[in-house]
Amino acid sequence: MNIRPDLKWIFNQTKDPDLTLCRQLFSPEIARNARRFHRQIPEFKMSPLLALPNLAQMFGVGGIWVKDESVRLQLNSFKVLGGSYAVYRYLKSLLNANEELTYAELTSAEIRQKLGKITFATATDGNHGRGIAWAAQKLGHDCIVYVHAETSKPRIDAIRSYGATVKIIAGNYDDAVRQIVVDAKNNGWAVISDTSWDGYTEIPIWIMQGYTTMMAEIQEQFAGQGITRPTHVFVQAGVGALAASVIGYYHALFSADAPRCIVVEPETADCLYQSVAIGDGNPHSIEGDLDTIMAGLACGEPSPVAWPILKQTACCFVTCPDYVAAKGMRIYATPLAGDPFVVSGESGAVTLGALVSILRENGLSELRDYLRINQDSQILFINTEGNTDPAHFRQIIWEGSNPVPREHWTDSAG
């Protein structure tokens, strides 16, 4: 019986990609600057790169590696890297500082007096807002965060725990972004957004550059294992900022020898996949409520800054139903004997779930052949978030919500 796969994919047909933008935005020097700033933050330390050797053996690949951002500064997400670096760059620009400023200088009474009281503002599905709220509180400034109506209470409470004001906006994430732009202009707030739009690109670029701290750490950790680079990188995408940062970094560093990079999206919020499918070279928005358990990826409008990088350098775009993310969460949470236990939220786990589907499900041979995953492959994932919504996490792990349809069980697929 032929079983139709639930994953959809589209290959990037770009030949000889132009890597100019990757090198301009994500050079090793830029990554060093971002990491230099982050290292000054009290309690900052490198997040672990975890090996899952027994899972790799089960699926016949050389290595499965997970950069675990669930423990980053106790904020449960990688987002603080981008948000804190963008706030730093913004304050540096206000001070007209040509030299790098230290974290101690930014938190000094003298600098605070020069700057006055600033209100940082952003829209979020949860993790980015928490990172901006944390950074504003650490630096002694105010913060207001807009969330959409479906944002869970635990995510809202986490943002408020860092002193931010939270306002709930009717509609989806993109509606919250549009509203914060209007209100920030009227109130004189400083918008620190991880998506971009016409006339607003500098700060989103700073956020993306802040993520390169994570990439520099990964490469250092791989070097300690005698690995030059991963052969494959699976990276999740909402507006595409993280994906462009990860993929842009690897192409800036390795050019034509960069890993094969796969962008993974929810099937109900697949603005990047749809933009590639339309095929006119431009980013396109999608409509609807973007309903998915992957709250951090529920975005309908590609970032105009991220899009030019992704359309040049990602090798393919994959969309997944929600049960694929839930499957990834359960695999992380029930490791094979000897592999580490990983706490991963829905947005963090979808890439692992996608790999397992690709390797084991019927109907995906075209994608398997294209990716050339084999016994020598070293595959990198980024666990972008931990347990950011405890009630929903338990529903998936304990109660088995979002189950894999019987026809797609990997054991039966062989």
Instruction: Say what the pLDDT of residue 328 is.
Output: 98
**What number of residues does the chain have?**
414
Share of the chain above pLDDT 70, in %: 98
Kindly report, residue by residue over 142-198, the tens digit of the pLDDT: 999 999 988 999 999 999 999 999 999 999 999 999 999 999 999 999 999 998 988
- Of 244, 171, 157, give the one whose Cα is nearest residue 205: 244
Which residue carries 């250092």 as its tokens? 220
pLDDT of residue 413: 43
Ordered DSSP codes for 242-277? HHHHHHHHHHHHHGGGPPEEEEEEETTS-HHHHHHH
Q: Are 164 and 129 in contact (CB under 8 A)?
A: yes
Q: Out of 67, 79, 92, 311, which one is annotated catalytic? A: 79
**Strand 316-320 relative to strand 8-11: parallel, antiparallel, unpaired?**
antiparallel
Q: Domain 8-76+211-413 classified CATH 1.10.10.60?
A: no
> What is the pTM for the complete model shown?
0.95
Phi first, then psi: give them for residue 344, nearest 5 degrees.
Answer: -135, 130
Does the pLDDT at position 108 exceed 50? yes
Q: For residues 217-234, give the mean pLDDT.
A: 98
**Is 79 known to be catalytic?**
yes
Among 158, 156, 143, smallest CA distance to 90 is for 143
Q: How confident is the model at residue 2 (pLDDT cuts 50, 70, 90)?
A: low
Domain boundaries 79-206, corresponding CATH code: 3.40.50.1100
Average pLDDT over residues 71-83: 95
Sign of the torsion angle spanned by Cα atoms 244, 247, 253, 254: negative
Quote the mean pLDDT of the chain: 95
Can 289 be counted among the known catalytic residues?
Answer: no
- What's the CA gap between 225 and 227, in Å, rounded? 5
Which of the following is catalytic: 125, 194, 270, 322? 125
HEC sequence for 57-68: HHCCCCEEEEEE
Is pLDDT above 80 for 412?
no
What integer pLDDT is reported at residue 288 of this predicted model? 85
Grouping H, G, I as helix, E, B as strand and the rest as coil, residue 26 is coil
Residues 6+ apart with CB under 8 A from 15: none
Which is it for strands 165-169 and 190-191: parallel, antiparallel or unpaired?
Answer: unpaired
Please tell me the least confidently modeled range out of 92-106, 176-190, 295-309, 324-338: 92-106
CA distance 393 to 351: 17
CA distance 2 to 284: 33
pLDDT of residue 15: 87
Residue 256 pLDDT level (bands cut at 50, 70, 90): very high
pLDDT at 3 over 80: no
The pLDDT value recorded for residue 321 is 97
| Residue extents of the structural domains in the chain | 8-76+211-413, 79-206
Across 398-410, average pLDDT: 92
Kindly tell me if the per-residue pLDDT of 289 is higher than 90.
no
Give tens-digit pLDDT for 332-373: 999 999 999 999 999 999 999 999 999 998 889 999 999 999
